[in-house]
Chain A
Amino acid sequence: MIQLESVSKRYLTKKALKDVSLQIEPGQITGLIGSNGSGKSTTLKLIAGLLRPTRGTVLIDGETANRRICRRVAYLSELDSYYSFFTVLETVDFYARTFSDFNRVKAEEMLDFMKLDRMQKVKHLSKGNRGRLKIVVTLAREVPFLLMDEPLSGLDPMVRSSIIKGLISFVDLEKQTVIITTHELQEIEPLLDSVILIKNGVILDQKRVEAIRRNENLSLSDWMVEKYGD
């Protein structure tokens, strides 16, 4: 389980998170939703141990999240974070050497599933294929927690669909927990068990997606608009 206890994060003078407490249940896909600059990515990076909270604690199964938590957490960055001079295959090799939990067989299966050319250089890949490759190297890690920062943003519908299908095919929810930040709600909604809505560094609400539909008769995007107000 992931726990944030009274977590605040300040970047110089800007408060990105304000006294946030929340729990994320295992075995689920949770969406962290909110507008740009609301604190989604900051929250994800704190859980990944890539940032340190200004105040409060972040616990992953009871262990404080710091740089060493990467043994248990795979983090997909919003940015391109690999060497552009590598080929697709060299990128996979690099990840396999870096992470002992990397499942080479699964990675190969995913390369086929995503129809990626192993010999192509990363810098020559289309934006969509770079997005697909990021998913491959993240999902090939057999870790209990998968964090994905905007895996669909800026990609065309075909690529988004293949990424969603890839995610469903290769995530094992009996052993893994997934957190996705996104503002593309429509496509991601059927994928989510629950959502955390964040605005200006404050958690507005945390709910099961099914409860939103059943109790409030709202789709996720309508719910978000209603909760967000102005």
Chain B
Amino acid sequence: MAQPFNPSVPIYLQLCERIKNRIIRGEIGIGERLPSVRELAIDVEVNPNTVQRAYRELEETGIVEKKRGQGTFVTENPAVLQRMREELKTRHIMLFVSEMREMGYTELEMLDGLKDFLTDKEE
């Protein structure tokens, strides 16, 4: 049975995120072929039209490229992949900062906390 989706976000966007994460983690390599629309649809139990939409979305941002009659491939353009990594980093930092702010931590406290946490881990 498939992994459940967040109920308040369109499924095609969640699929895009999952695919991007897999690319960043290296589970899908540079230049590698993505599963076909139907393969992925069966795997995660969603409508093939939804998978198609997710692939189109990824194609528009340049992360994947469609090759006629061969399928959809992860781009080999390092700039695009680098941009995607940066975007993901920024988003996670934003999430962290906004949650910390909400709890009333100052920026200095955040920075110190982060530094301490990272040095502690290294020792």
Contact = CB atoms under 8 A, between A and B. Distances in A.
A42 B5 CA distance: 32
B23 interface: no
B46 interface: yes
Given A28-B49, A191-B47, A165 B42 contact: yes
A222 B7 contact: yes
Q: How large, as a class, is the contact surface on chain A?
A: 20 to 34
A168 B1 contact: no
Interface in A134-174: 157, 161, 164-165, 168-169, 173
A213 B44 contact: no
Contact of A190 (B8, B9, B38, B45): B45
A113 to B, nearest CB: 10
Contacts of B48: 168, 173
Contacts of A203: none
Contacts of A157: 1
Interface string B2-16: 100101111110000
A219 B7 contact: yes
Q: How large, as a class, is the contact surface on chain B?
A: 10 to 19
A179 interface: no
A229 B11 CA distance: 26
A219 B8 contact: yes
A4 interface: no
B11 A210 contact: yes
Given A157-B1, A168-B38, A168-B42, A192 B47 contact: yes
- Which 9 pairs from chain A and chain B are nearest by CB? A219-B7, A217-B8, A190-B46, A210-B10, A213-B10, A168-B41, A161-B1, A168-B42, A164-B45
